[in-house]
């Protein structure tokens, strides 16, 4: 089963310019693990030193924020689509 992960513009320099990457995984956590194995420089931008997803990184499964599902344990269906959406702060 392949999951497509959409990469936001600021992080594409860590995926060789790719806007979307196909990875394997049955959960959101597995898919993100495969993504950061394939593109190790991306890991520090998504996860903190304890291995937890950074608080300012939002992950959406289709149109649903995984924080309101089962977080990284959220199961993925065939042809799932994940989007990485960094929080934007301003004042």
Average pLDDT, the chain: 93
Per-residue confidence (pLDDT) for residue 32, from 0 to 100: 97
Host domain of residue 35: 2-86
Q: How distant, in Å, are the alpha carbons of 5, 15, 75, 83, 89 from that of 20?
A: 5, 9, 20, 9, 24
CATH code at position 35: 3.10.20.30
In the predicted model, residues of the chain with pLDDT beneath 70 are 89-91
Is residue 91 in a domain? Answer: no
What percent of the chain lies above the pLDDT cut of 90?
87
Does residue 22 sit within a domain? yes
Residue 77 lies in a domain: yes
User: What's residue 89's pLDDT?
Assistant: 62
Position 81 in a domain: yes
Give the separation between CA 40 and CA 88, rounded to whole angstroms: 23
What pTM did the predictor assign? 0.92
Tokens 């989007």, located at residue: 83
Instruction: Domain count for the chain, please give it.
Output: 1
Q: What percent helix, strand, coil does the chain show, rounded to 5?
A: 35, 30, 35
């Amino acid at each position: 089963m392949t999951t497509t992960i959409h990469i936001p513009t600021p992080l594409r320099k860590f995926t060789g310019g790719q806007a979307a990457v196909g990875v394997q995984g049955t959960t959101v956590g597995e898919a993100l693990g495969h993504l950061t194995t394939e593109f190790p420089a991306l890991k520090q931008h998504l996860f903190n030193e304890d291995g937890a997803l950074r608080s300012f990184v939002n992950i959406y499964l289709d149109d649903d924020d995984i924080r309101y599902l089962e977080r990284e344990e959220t199961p993925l269906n065939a042809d799932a689509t994940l989007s990485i959406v960094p929080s934007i702060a301003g004042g």
